[in-house]
Structure formats: structure tokens, C-alpha cells
Amino acid sequence: ETGVTQTPRHLVMGMTNKKSLKCEQHLGHNAMYWYKQSAKKPLELMFVYNFKEQTENNSVPSRFSPECPNSSHLFLHLHTLQPEDSALYLCASSQAASGEYEQYFGPGTRLTVT
Amino acid sequence: QQQVKQSPQSLIVQKGGISIINCAYENTAFDYFPWYQQFPGKGPALLIAIRPDVSEKKEGRFTISFNKSAKQFSLHIMDSQPGDSATYFCAAVMDTGRRALTFGSGTRLQVQP
């Protein structure tokens, strides 16, 4: 595997389900990010982790819970989601949590909440 | 509140033509401006980036023009090809220690053969 991988690629879940999104980077980076991409809206930064520590939570509802066990893995735990949470969730990584470093994105998980 | 405004939302260009996408920002603390390209089913990928101390940067067929006084920057794609058909995002980074990317809303480019 190379670059940034995300699983699953597609997920359909009901509002009462609990599911997790997984991201893995094979680039030796120290920073990882979760973004939400909705139709007709800009990419929204959700969370930033730098050296496994959360450095930013962009006012994300608590029904989204991130976890970063090490610099290579990032999870997004989902529970009691709303239909408006349906979107493409993108994971990215960079050498460090600084915007001047190129962020490498995974292909995303297409989430549909029914 | 959108800090980086991008236009147009969609763009159709004939093969060989010039594609121009514009972005504007308000916050003068932004000091790094990358452009990302996203193909369907893929995540965005860095295309080209510029700092405000230069007015233009060119890489192959892609050029960023930067107007610091107007707080505007644009992406020009020369000799546009059907393979350039993708969604393009401008972004900006603020030098405050919180150096996360702020993205524009995206432009869907279609290059017709």
C-alpha cells in the first residue's frame, strides 16, 4: 500500500448505528487530518492531529469522535449521525501540522446516513 | 463565513483553450496559497502553490498569478486538455501557528475535445 488509504470507501448507516472510518498513511508523516466534503460547500477541516496529539477541533459535533493511536493511523468514530452528515470524508497527512507542507489526501469514504 | 471565495463554480473550455479560475481572500494574514486538483473518486492533490512575495509562478501549463494589493490570485491552465477535466480548489494558509488549509468552494472544469 502506498500513500494514504481509507476504508471503507462507501458506507451506508442508519441514524442509530455506530461505525468507524479508518485512515492509514504510509508516508512517514507526523500530522493527520479529517475533512468533510459536501456538495456545493468548501472542504471543511474537522480535526488535526500532530504527533498523535489533537491540535485542532473545528467545532465538530460530538457525534464525531476522532482517534489517533499512532502517527500512521487515524480513525473517525461515528454515532447517532444525522442525514445532513452524509458527505465524503477525506483523510490527509503531512510531514507536520503546518500548511506549508503538502497535504496528501486519501480517496475518501462516501458516507450516506439514512 | 467563507474566507476564500472562488469563481466560477463551473467552467467549460475547448481543448487548447485557456482555463482561468479566480480566488479572493480578505485576511491579510494568509501567506501561502496552494491549488489542489481533484479527479472523481480521488482525494485532492497539490497542483501548484505560491507565496505572496512573488506575483507569478509557472509550472508547465499551470500558472498562478497573484495580486497582493487586490487580495486575489488565479490559476491559468494553458493549452487545456481533456485530461485536465477535474475540480480545482484554491486554498490559503494563515501564519498564526494554526496553519491549516482554508479551501475555496471549488471549480468544476470540463475541457471539451
Asked if A63 and A55 count as a contact pair (C-beta separation under 8 A), the reply is: no
Q: How far apart are CA A42 and CA B110, in angstroms?
A: 19
Full pLDDT tens readout for chain B, 113 residues:
558 999 999 999 999 999 999 999 998 888 889 999 999 888 999 999 998 889 999 999 999 999 999 999 999 999 999 999 999 999 998 764 556 788 999 999 999 99
For residue A49, give how far its alpha carbon lies from the nearest alpha carbon of chain B (Å): 11
Asked if the C-beta of A56 comes within 8 angstroms of chain B's C-beta atoms, the answer is yes
For position A101, what pLDDT does the model report?
Answer: 76
Task: Produce one character per residue of B81-101: b if its CB has 16 or more CB atoms within 10 Å, e if not.
Answer: eeebbbbbbbbbbbeeeebbb
Find, in chain A, the residue whose alpha carbon is nearest to that of B33.
A100
Query: Do B99 and A42 lie within an 8 Å CB cutoff?
Result: no
Q: How would residue A81 be classed by pLDDT, with cut points 50, 70 and 90?
A: very high
Taking 70 as the threshold, does the pLDDT of residue A64 lie above it?
Answer: yes
Nearest CA in chain B to A46: B100
Handedness of CA A109, B112, B8, B76 (dihedral sign): positive
- Integer-rounded Cα Rg, in Å, for chain B is 14
Please report which confidence band the pLDDT of residue A41 belongs to, taking 50, 70 and 90 as the band edges. Answer: confident
Which of these, A60, A59, A71, A3, lies nearest to A32 by C-alpha position? A71
Looking at the partner chain, which of B42, B98, B103 has a beta carbon nearest the beta carbon of A43? Answer: B103
| Window from A18-27, A41-50, A66-75, A102-111 with minimum mean pLDDT | A41-50
Whole-number percent of chain A with pLDDT over 70: 97
Please indicate whether, in this complex, the C-beta atoms of A107 and B41 are within 8 angstroms of each other: yes
> Chain B within 8 Å of A28 (Cβ-Cβ)?
no
Going along A26-102, which residue ranges are E strands?
31-37, 44-50, 53-57, 64-70, 73-79, 87-94
Which residues from chain A sit within 8 angstroms of residue B93, using beta carbons?
Answer: 99-100
